[in-house]
Structure 1
Amino acid sequence: MKRSDFEPLSYFNDEQRAAAADIYKIIEPNIIGEVPLPRISDETNIPLRTLQRWKKGYQKAGLSGLIRSPRSDSGSTKVDTTVQSLIENTRLKNRRISIATIHRKVSSQCEQQGLSVPSYKQVYKIVKSMPNSIIELAHHGAKSYSEKYDLIYTRESERPNEFWQADHTLLDIEVWDNKKQRRRPWLSVIIDDYSRAVSGYFISFDAPSAIHTALMFHQAIWRKENPEWPICGIPETFYTDHGSDFTSRHLEQVAMDLKIRLVFSKIGVPRGRGVIF
């Protein structure tokens, strides 16, 4: 299937895009070149051929290539979302628990709530598909999770557009706004780490938001009207802090679709911060 055979990401609804984003997160460790697919298959109990199909679809069409077409038999053996949540919560609340015990507990809860009782096979499949990282976080806490799964970017860029950084700052100047009031403006900047050139920027009296970041990111990627400002393109890695505008679902999905690796600074770790301001 060619890239043109896939619909653009905007063609799909929020639920479909969110589902595709969840699939991407499963294969992301392989996409960024660190974890082989067989290892992911062993950890998630997802068939290797399925992971290979997902990776191929993503490489051809970005996030759109991970949106699955509805099957004619879909729903025939599907577990209700409420029941699935019961299964997952039971697993997360108990550090050592067998699937048989999970099945027994969930079946009892379903009978009490008038829900369809899942089969042992359905419970087994759901439990085995839960990422180890989520289980680690639930059972051992954030510190253990961080030590095993968090990465901090430390190496220098070797070429343009390999690594972009973004940040906001409240400028130490006052200017007149439209209401003739003196206010300090916010400056948002995206910098190419290799050349230290400004790829995009946004100035506003309003505090940083997801909309402002999206507009700045679009400006950074797109060709500039000013021929003396040639910086543009799609970065390999986009590095930001944990601001709500940077961690918005829209930005995350755009990065996935354009095959940009999002890296967030590590909270509470100074060496994980950006160096723009």
Structure 2
Amino acid sequence: MAQWTVDAKLALLRQHDGVPWTRLAATAGVPARTLSRWAQQYRIRPTSAGLERLPRADKGRQRTSQEIVEAIQALALRHPEPTAAFIHRRVSGLAQDRGVPAPSYSTVRAVIARIDPGLRTLAQHGEAACRDRFELVYRRTASRPYAQWQADHTLLDLAILDRKGEPVRPWLTTVLDDFSRAVAGYSLFLGAPTAERTALALHQAINRKTNPAWPVMGLPDVLYSDHGSDFTSARLERVCLDMHVRLIHSPVGVPEGRGKIERFYGTITTELLPHLPGHIPHGTNGTPTSPPVLTMEQLDAILERFIVEEYNARPHSETREAPATRWAASGFIPRTPASSDELDLLLLTAATTRKVQRDGIQFASTRYVSPVLAAYVGEQVTVRFNPRDVGEIRVYFNDAFLCRAIAPELAADEISLEQLQTARAQRRHTLKQQLRQRRSLADALPDDTRYLPPTETTDPEPAPASASASASASAPPELTPPRHGLRLYATD
């Protein structure tokens, strides 16, 4: 029978005037006894409330024994989770053995549905899944620029060409301002993330950019990161201590606190990388859709243009403001290092020590000169450099900044260490190829037989046997070669 509303019941009862209950029941499709009961309820309470459906007297009561209910719940929390049909058959046999009524299939399903969702998730998917779905998350929110920066790494879904022309996948380290969502700095590299790569991204984030459309710079109050080995390294802790930056790590296995920087990586993955050659769609087992053609330097230029001209310049989906505009609108004056040389000492990659020669410092097969080095000829110094620009290096003596030395042939144009090494590798490859060609030409030349002794076929007067025997007998014994194959010092 269809569910009747209160208004429908009231309209049907009003048709009873002069119409028998049987005819009215046949027309409406309702049993006559039901119509009589509705009429009696309406006479007792002549309002619409008298026609409302009364709740069941046993509502909320559990007619299935508690023992069977607990057995159903225990079976449902097994891993892997059994089907409701299996649980119904199992508890039916259990109820028969214990002499209690067996539950119906619908009862078993209802008991399973009433289990706490958090308990079922914990049983079937583990503690991490239960925490991610049901536990409250504390979200760190900054109230102004530079109050908090986030730093993290990601392996890009893109294949590029390394110096040898082999396809490789680069890593990206990003430093993001929490308040404005503006990207403060980044670092592209090959290989596993290290503290040096993180320091390089921080160096770019803190320093003033050469691009005037990228104004983000300064020192943050808090640096927020995960528990990666590079973020928990003693090097980064020392850097933060010297710069008076508080280093905070997110709880192990809880990435929700870093969702803002993960959202930026999602933007890079969905809006930039699919338009580049060598893109690797997610789930394709590392297979690019097109052959990679970009180099590290080309990808670096593309990424900087995307960050400055698109990401930092357009309204953010959450703040409704462009990150660069939100950063500049606060009027906050950023905190800066005491000197750029001190910052370089802390963050830039340290090379091995070098000895100051009379013509300067030889580093990476390049000569660097500075007038200050004239007083330190013969001394051991420490060289630090920026891999993005090897036109100059920083020279330190006893951990104190000494000077900036430049390479005369590289100082006019900005060139990276990767470009320098690639050019030198190409030069060595060309020289080796020429050497192989020359050697193959030399090997193809005919043998020079002008000074060889004549052979038996060309010698008209062979020496008598007695003469040769006497000559061998007269030879000194120490010049006679040994008969064994072992080379001795005396015969070398």
Q: Which TM-score band (shorter chain)?
A: 0.3 to 0.5
If you compute each CA radius of gyration, which structure gives the higher value, 1 or 2? 2
Greater relative CO (CA pairs within 8 A, separation 6+): 1
TM-score (norm 1): 0.43
TM-score (norm 2): 0.25
